[in-house]
C-alpha cells in the first residue's frame, strides 16, 4: 500500500488513529476513500480535502494565523540549516535535491523529507518545501542530514485570530504540520499581495508564549491614521485627549497644556492634563494558557 494517511488522527474515518484505519483497510474492512485526505481523482480538482482551522491546536492552544503555501507550491517554504553548515558545500547540495532529517531546534520527533528550492552560499541556509516520505522512496538519491535548525517559515497567512504584526512573537500553525501543534515565531515580514498576506516568521519555538503587543503612546499634536465610518483611512492631528476610566476618573490633555505631568480629576471637575496609553486594537492576547 503506497498511500498513507497524514497521521492527524482526526477520527473522520470512524477510527481513533490513522494506524488503526490502515490496519482495517489492509483487512478490507475499511475503504481508503473513508479518509478525507485520500486523493479524490473523480472530482474536478483531484486534491486533498482542505482541513478546517478552528483556531486551536490538538492541545487546545490558540494560534493567530495559519501559514499556507504560496499559489502552486506544495507547502509553506522552510528555511533550514544543517547542524554542520559546511555539509551543504561539501556534499554539493543544490536546488531539486531531496533531504531527510529532523528539526531539533525547535524540537520535533518527526523525520521530514524536504526538496531544496535554493541554497545561500554564504550562510548555508537552505530554502525548502516539505514533500513527504513518498518522494524520498522514489528518489535515487537522498541526503540524510539527520538533524537541522529550523530558521523560519514563509508563505501565505490565513488570519484566524490576529493578523501578523512585524516585530512581535505570535502563534501560528504551519498548514502542513502533521502534528497540528502550535508554533511561535517573530514576524519579520508582512506584505499584501494579490493572492493574500505574504508573511515570513523566524526565531521559531514550539508552544511559545506570545509577546504582548506593546502600548502606543499618543499625545496631542501627534498625527495618526484613523478610519472613518466608510472605511476610508485618513491622517488626523490629535488636538486633545479625554479618557474616562472605569473608576470614574477623567484624564485630559490638550495641545495647549505645557506641563507633561499627569493631572487627574473626577467627573464634572475642571480640565487637566495627562498622557493617554492607547492599546492597539490587536493587542488583546490571552496569555493565560
**What CATH number is associated with residue 11?**
1.10.15.40
Q: Which residue has better confidence, 177 or 289?
A: 177
Which of 206, 240, 270 is the endpoint of a domain? Answer: 206
Which of 172, 206, 240 is the endpoint of a domain? Answer: 206
Predicted confidence at residue 227, as pLDDT, reads: 76
- What confidence category does residue 235 fall into, taking pLDDT thresholds of 50, 70 and 90? confident
pTM: 0.58
DSSP 8-state code for residue 62: B
Q: Residue 261 domain-assigned?
A: yes
What are the φ and ψ backbone dihedral angles of 250, each rounded to 5 degrees?
A: -115, 130
- Both 78 and 133 in one domain: the answer is yes
- Both 193 and 242 in one domain: the answer is no
- Both 237 and 256 in one domain: the answer is yes
Q: Residue 182 domain-assigned?
A: yes
pLDDT tens per residue, range 16-64? 888 888 888 888 888 888 887 777 544 434 344 455 677 888 778 889 9
C-alpha cell at 260: 507633561
Predicted confidence at residue 2, as pLDDT, reads: 61
pLDDT value at 276 more than 70: no
Q: Residue 155 domain-assigned?
A: yes
Which 3 state secondary structure label does DSSP give 135? helix
Q: Which long-range contacts (CB under 8 A, 24 or more apart) does 108-115 make?
A: 108/150, 108/179, 108/206, 110/178, 110/179, 113/142, 114/78, 114/80
- Both 189 and 239 in one domain: the answer is no
- Write down the number of H helices and E strands in the chain: 3, 16
**227 forms bridges with which residues in the sheet?**
233
CA-to-CA dists, residue 250 to 120, 278, 280, angstroms: 57, 15, 20
Predicted confidence at residue 213, as pLDDT, reads: 60
Residue 229's contacts (CB-CB under 8 Å, 6 or more residues apart) are none
Q: Which residue has better confidence, 90 or 281?
A: 90
What count of other Cβ atoms lies within 10 Å of the Cβ of residue 64?
A: 24
CA-only gyration radius of the chain, Å: 25
Q: Are 197 and 163 in contact (CB under 8 A)?
A: yes
Q: Residue 106 domain-assigned?
A: yes
pLDDT tens per residue, range 58-106? 778 889 999 999 998 989 999 999 999 899 999 999 999 999 999 998 8
- Both 81 and 198 in one domain: the answer is yes
- Both 167 and 114 in one domain: the answer is yes
Domain membership of residue 245 as a residue range: 216-278
Which 3 state secondary structure label does DSSP give 137? helix
Distance CA 110, CA 35 (A): 22
- Both 9 and 138 in one domain: the answer is no
Q: Residue 198 domain-assigned?
A: yes
**In total, how many domains does the chain have?**
3
Predicted confidence at residue 210, as pLDDT, reads: 61
Distance CA 198, CA 11 (A): 32
- Both 239 and 154 in one domain: the answer is no
pLDDT tens per residue, range 202-214? 999 987 556 666 6
Q: Which residue has better confidence, 273 or 98?
A: 98
Percentage of the chain lying above the pLDDT 90 cut: 37
Predicted confidence at residue 252, as pLDDT, reads: 84
pLDDT value at 181 more than 60: yes
Q: 207 exposed, middle or buried (CB, 10 Å; 0-12, 13-18, 19+)?
A: middle
Residue 127's contacts (CB-CB under 8 Å, 6 or more residues apart) are 77, 78, 79, 116, 117, 118, 119, 120
- Both 198 and 124 in one domain: the answer is yes
Which of 206, 236, 254 is the endpoint of a domain? Answer: 206
pLDDT value at 199 more than 50: yes
Q: Residue 257 domain-assigned?
A: yes
pLDDT tens per residue, range 113-163? 999 999 999 999 999 999 988 888 888 999 999 999 999 999 999 999 899
Q: Residue 25 domain-assigned?
A: yes
- Both 165 and 255 in one domain: the answer is no
- Both 97 and 180 in one domain: the answer is yes
Q: Residue 289 domain-assigned?
A: no
Which 3 state secondary structure label does DSSP give 78? strand
Amino acid at each position: 500500500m503506497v498511500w498513507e494517511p497524514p497521521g492527524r488522527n482526526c477520527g473522520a474515518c470512524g477510527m481513533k488513529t490513522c494506524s488503526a484505519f490502515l490496519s482495517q483497510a489492509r483487512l478490507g474492512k475499511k475503504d481508503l476513500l473513508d479518509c478525507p485526505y485520500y486523493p479524490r481523482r473523480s472530482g474536478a480538482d483531484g486534491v486533498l480535502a482542505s482541513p478546517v482551522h478552528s483556531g486551536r491546536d490538538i492541545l487546545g492552544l490558540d494560534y493567530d494565523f495559519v501559514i499556507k503555501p504560496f499559489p502552486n507550491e506544495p507547502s509553506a517554504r522552510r528555511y533550514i540549516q544543517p547542524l554542520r553548515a559546511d555539509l551543504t558545500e561539501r556534499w554539493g547540495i543544490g536546488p531539486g535535491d531531496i533531504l531527510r532529517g529532523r528539526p531539533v531546534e525547535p524540537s520535533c520527533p518527526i523525520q521530514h523529507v524536504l526538496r531544496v528550492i535554493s541554497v545561500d552560499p554564504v550562510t548555508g541556509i537552505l530554502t525548502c518545501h516539505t514533500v513527504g516520505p513518498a518522494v524520498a522512496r522514489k528518489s535515487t538519491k537522498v541526503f540524510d542530514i539527520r538533524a537541522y535548525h529550523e530558521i523560519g517559515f514563509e508563505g501565505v497567512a490565513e488570519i484566524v485570530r490576529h493578523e501578523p504584526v512585524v516585530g512581535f512573537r505570535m502563534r501560528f500553525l504551519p498548514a502542513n504540520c502533521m502534528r497540528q501543534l502550535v508554533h511561535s515565531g517573530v514576524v519579520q515580514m508582512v506584505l499584501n499581495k494579490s493572492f493574500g498576506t505574504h508573511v515570513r516568521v523566524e526565531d521559531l519555538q514550539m508552544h511559545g508564549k506570545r509577546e504582548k503587543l506593546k502600548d502606543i503612546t499618543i499625545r496631542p499634536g501627534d498625527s495618526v491614521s484613523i478610519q472613518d465610518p466608510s472605511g476610508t483611512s485618513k491622517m488626523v492631528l490629535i488636538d486633545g485627549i479625554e479618557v474616562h476610566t472605569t473608576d470614574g476618573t477623567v484624564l485630559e490633555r490638550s495641545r495647549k497644556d505645557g506641563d507633561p505631568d499627569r493631572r487627574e480629576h473626577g467627573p464634572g471637575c475642571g480640565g487637566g492634563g495627562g498622557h493617554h496609553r492607547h492599546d492597539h486594537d490587536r493587542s488583546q492576547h490571552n496569555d493565560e494558557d
